[in-house]
Amino acid sequence: MSVMTEVPSQGGDPPPGDPPDAATGGEPIELRLRRALGHRSIVLVGLMGAGKSTVGRRLATRLGLMFKDADNEIETAAKLTIPDIFAIYGEPSFRDGEERVIARLMREGPLVLATGGGAFMRETTRARIAEGGVSIWLKAELDVLMRRVRKRGGRPLLQTEDPEETLRQLMAQRHPVYATADVEVISRDVAHDRVVQDVMEALDAYLNRPSQPGIAAQ
């Protein structure tokens, strides 16, 4: 079952209560996460515009890990932009290449990996991520996604007469699959560092959750 946390709709101080590190004698959350992760990678999944690359870079810096963007790695390997790959070879060929690149990146871990919106839809990729990493779904509402994607063109799947309807259909198709990720964090229009902090706290809750007590022998 996923661990879920929600970013507040307004910025400001963290919610009241004990400091995040109080229960561990002041140990920084970064150290706790690195120890709990071991050799596993953190893999960010979600729709275009969810903030995977922006959050991923900052998260990697906080944890002292490498950051990789799967889309950038695909473009480097193909020596083509993603729109050009779609136009020349089609989406199925792109997805095959995406799967190979993610498999390679997972072998290079531990790292923070931002994946393309369709990557997690492949069962083999999900299995590979589950084997060598922890998956985090950055979930955002439709209006948030649309505001963000309008700022950056070149989204092959949104080259339609009604991009908003296309994105709505992608949400309906992909959200049930994204929901199988280990951790879920709501991404809203707040400071990026706030989202990063929420990701870290949700990851901490997932990785360091108390173990279930055993059943006493009869």
Looking at the DSSP bridge assignments, the partners of residue 186 are: 6, 139
Looking at the DSSP bridge assignments, the partners of residue 114 are: 44, 69
For residue range 157-188, list pLDDT tens digits in order. Answer: 667 777 888 889 999 999 999 999 999 999 88
Q: Which amino acid is at 199?
A: V
* Strand (E) or helix (H) holding 91: helix 91-107
Residue 20: pLDDT over 70? no
Predicted local distance difference test score (pLDDT) of residue 7: 39
Which two tokens mark 170?
């992608």
At residue 26 the predicted structure's pLDDT band, cuts being 50, 70 and 90, is confident
pTM of the model: 0.82
